[in-house]
């Protein structure tokens, strides 16, 4: 589904040149659930943004469903993004003027989904994240964790084939975090491909495949097999080290 080959991303600011990604290569199959870890500033968000076509890259090749993203126009990218990709941003990035219901509605509107169907999906997703009763609230009336859950609901409502989640549990307590993880696992089972950035080792371990980004490069290592959660394998410990 996703094929990145020698992707480079250089940020050019006034004085410094930051090599956020260097020769980054990755293959993701349809239906995978990948946890991405790595130190702060290593390029995880940059990778997700490029995967989601939110940012151009400096060099390399990126195929999404065999389409060369580098050759697409801005409008075509917007279309693809709208049809295939769901985002959970590192900052929640809710729109302050809109209430929860309307925030979740945003991607559905751009996709041209009919009002009745929108309503069904939004209520369903808010229910899943436990915020159905607060649909009329504005983001600033919610706690950080609640806002995080709205952002998740917004991503789920689009029923994306490809979900990019940047620290989706960063602001949640461990119970809530596990619930969110279960939600993600649910939609993964239903067929969605998921790439999730996380600092939470325990959550990362629950994902069938782990990758680590260090200094803009993939620290390649073993592909983990699906296993019961909570079981720490030696290989896993090695990754943490």
Give the integer Cα–Cα distance in Å for 50 and 48. 5
**CA 191: distance to chain centroid?**
15
The residue whose Cβ lies closest to Mg ion is 45
10 contacts 26 by C-beta, under 8 angstroms = no
DSSP code of residue 190: T
Closest distance of CB 56 from another protein, Å: 8
Question: Is residue 148 a contact point for ligand ATP (CB under 6 A)?
Answer: no
CB within 8 Å of 75: residues ≥ 6 apart: none
DSSP code of residue 158: T
Stretch that binds ligand ATP, among 13-21, 23-31, 67-75, 127-135 (CB under 6 A): 13-21
Question: Is residue 96 a contact point for another protein (CB under 8 A)?
Answer: yes
171 closest CA partner among 141, 194, 150, 192: 150
Question: Is residue 46 a contact point for ligand ATP (CB under 6 A)?
Answer: yes
Question: Is residue 43 a contact point for ligand ATP (CB under 6 A)?
Answer: yes
| Per-residue mark of binding to Mg ion, 17-46 (x: CB under 5 A) | ----------------------------x-
| Per-residue mark of binding to another protein, 46-75 (x: CB under 8 A) | ---x--x-xx------------------xx
Q: How many helices (H) and strands (E) does the chain have?
A: 8, 10
Q: In the structure encoding, which two tokens stand for residue 212, read together?
A: 């680590």
Question: Which of another protein, ligand ATP, Mg ion, none has residue 33 at its interface (CB below 5 to 8 Å by kind)?
Answer: none
Give the integer Cα–Cα distance in Å for 179 and 184. 9
Among 111, 134, 137, 161, binds another protein (CB under 8 A): 111
Site for another protein in 130-149 (CB under 8 A): none
- Residues forming contacts to Mg ion in the complex (CB under 5 A) are 45, 90
């Amino acid at each position: 589904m996703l094929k990145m080959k020698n992707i480079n991303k250089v940020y050019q600011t006034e004085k410094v040149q930051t090599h956020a990604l260097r020769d980054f290569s990755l293959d993701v199959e349809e239906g995978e659930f990948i946890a991405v870890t790595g130190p702060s500033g290593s390029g995880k968000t940059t990778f997700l943004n490029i995967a989601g076509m939110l940012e151009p890259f400096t060099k390399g090749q990126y195929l999404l469903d065999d389409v060369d993203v580098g050759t697409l126009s801005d409008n075509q990218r917007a279309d693809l993004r709208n049809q295939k990709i769901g985002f959970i941003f590192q900052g929640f990035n809710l729109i302050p003027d809109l209430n929860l219901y309307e925030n979740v509605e945003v991607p559905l509107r751009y996709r041209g989904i009919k009002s009745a169907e929108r309503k069904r999906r939004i209520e369903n997703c808010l229910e899943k994240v436990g915020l159905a009763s607060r649909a009329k609230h504005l983001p600033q009336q919610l706690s950080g964790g609640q806002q995080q859950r709205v952002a998740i609901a917004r991503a789920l409502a689009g029923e994306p084939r490809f979900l990019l989640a940047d620290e989706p549990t960063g602001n949640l307590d461990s119970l809530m975090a596990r619930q969110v993880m279960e939600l993600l696992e649910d939609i993964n089972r239903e067929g969605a491909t998921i790439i999730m950035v996380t600092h939470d080792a325990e959550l990362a371990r629950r994902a069938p495949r782990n990758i680590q980004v260090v200094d803009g490069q993939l620290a390649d290592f073993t592909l983990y097999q699906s296993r019961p959660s909570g079981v720490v394998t030696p290989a896993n410990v090695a990754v943490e080290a």
